[in-house]
Amino acid sequence: MLSIITLAGLYSCQKDEDRVVLDTSKIVAPVMDDSTLGDSLVITPDNADSSLTLTWQAANYGFNTAITYFVQMDASGNNFNNASTLGTTSGETSFTISYNDLNNKILLMQDDPESPLPTSVEFRVLSIISSAVDTVFSNAASLSITPFYIVITYPQLYVPGAYQGWAPDQADSIGSINNDGNFEGYIYMPQAGEFKFTSARDWAHVNYGNGGDGMLDTDGGAGNLSVPEAGFYKFNVNTNDLTWTYLNTTWGLIGDATSGGWDTDTPMVYNEDTQLWTVTTDLNAGDIKFRANGGWDLNYGKNDQPGKLVENGDNIHVDEAGSYTVTLDLSTTVYKYKVEKN
């Protein structure tokens, strides 16, 4: 429920105790206009440069005030529990997004982005005038969108450092798979040394240096970050609260399809040139998973997308016994694997 609050500075009075207050019963929420959306939208390479414009009737608080609108999208029926914010406006009652950007966001919602299907989504608008006043929500406008597959572009943080000559234009990167300020990825560093995170492939944008005790500092003069030894490092960075962690990893296969069963790892070997972990080994019919450092704190199994991995995912099934080459690819934002019979 919206509470009745005093709006300081928005009243005139003859007595000190007379004040104008926000009457919550008078608030009118914004209203999405779905008359121009139609029922469906098919995005193709031919129309990808076009754009979609969402419009709505302005919210009304009973007096003139600055209103900020947040435009959101989520899968239909999800009650906006996993909503992504498409953009904001200050007082404007329309928002335009390119088909290209919309296509990318719809692919992120697909079970298998490489074989995209029509996706029913809902749009809504949030109206905000003050942190002291509860957010007001519009109705939802629905649309079925069919995207086309392109390589999904995830936000990246780049990692220039001593290990690669301090060249941000050639640096490896880690990605934010949910576009939420949480970045994760693996980088092989052939030597101990210093580095920084950068928001672009140069030094002219936001750089993240050492803030001490697992914290980052965006001051250009902040000291460098470092790792203590050579290794294949998992980095996690949160640019919202400016924190970071690292973990040096080695990888192996585990499971009843391997000779060591669920007790002993079959070690994998890292190739610096291909950036892949591989092993050629005999497997039985059964299940496998990938795990780091001989323990279960960090492990990957399959998800619903063929060849894709997720942390703590399901077992990967091997149908029949034989000699196999197994590949673990942690070089991109979406982790992948292959189990190929020789």
pLDDT at 18: 44
Contact 27, 133 (CB under 8 A): no
> Where along the chain do its domains lie?
30-146, 156-249, 251-341
CATH of domain 251-341: 2.60.40.3620
Torsion of CA 45, 200, 95, 70, to 10 degrees: 130
Give the tens place of pLDDT for each residue, 74-122: 999 999 988 889 999 999 999 999 999 999 889 888 877 778 899 999 9
CATH superfamily of 30-146: Immunoglobulins (2.60.40.10)
Contacts of 271 (CB under 8 A, 6+ apart): 277, 278
pLDDT at 22: 65
Token pair 């966001």 is found at: 105
Is 153's pLDDT higher than 90? Answer: no
pLDDT at 112: 76
Contacts of 61 (CB under 8 A, 6+ apart): 22, 26, 27, 67, 129
pLDDT at 25: 76
Give the tens place of pLDDT for each residue, 213-241: 999 999 989 999 999 999 999 999 999 99
Give the tens place of pLDDT for each residue, 4-49: 333 433 333 344 444 445 677 788 999 999 988 989 999 999 999 9
Second CATH level (architecture) for the domain 156-249: Sandwich (2.60)
Contacts of 332 (CB under 8 A, 6+ apart): 175
Torsion of CA 204, 205, 209, 215, to 10 degrees: 170
Q: Tell me the percentage of the chain whose pLDDT exceeds 90.
A: 77
Give the tens place of pLDDT for each residue, 248-294: 999 999 999 999 999 999 999 999 999 999 999 999 999 999 999 99
Cα–Cα distance for residue pair 126/337, rounded to 1 Å = 41
pLDDT at 114: 79
Is 1's pLDDT higher than 60? Answer: no
pLDDT at 46: 95
Element (H, E) at 340: strand 336-341
Mean pLDDT of 309-313: 95
Distance in angstroms between the alpha carbons of the first and the last residue of the chain = 64
pLDDT at 21: 57
Give the tens place of pLDDT for each residue, 162-193: 999 999 999 999 999 888 899 999 999 999 99
pLDDT at 2: 35
Nearest CA to 271 out of 168, 162, 188 is that of 188
Task: Give the C-alpha distances (Å, rounded to integers) separating 135 from 23, 91, 128, 243, 292.
Answer: 15, 15, 5, 29, 44
pLDDT at 220: 86
Q: Do domains 156-249 and 251-341 have the same CATH topology?
A: yes
What angle (nearest 5°) sits at the alpha carbon of residue 294, between those of residues 289 and 300?
A: 30
Cα–Cα distance for residue pair 135/133, rounded to 1 Å = 6
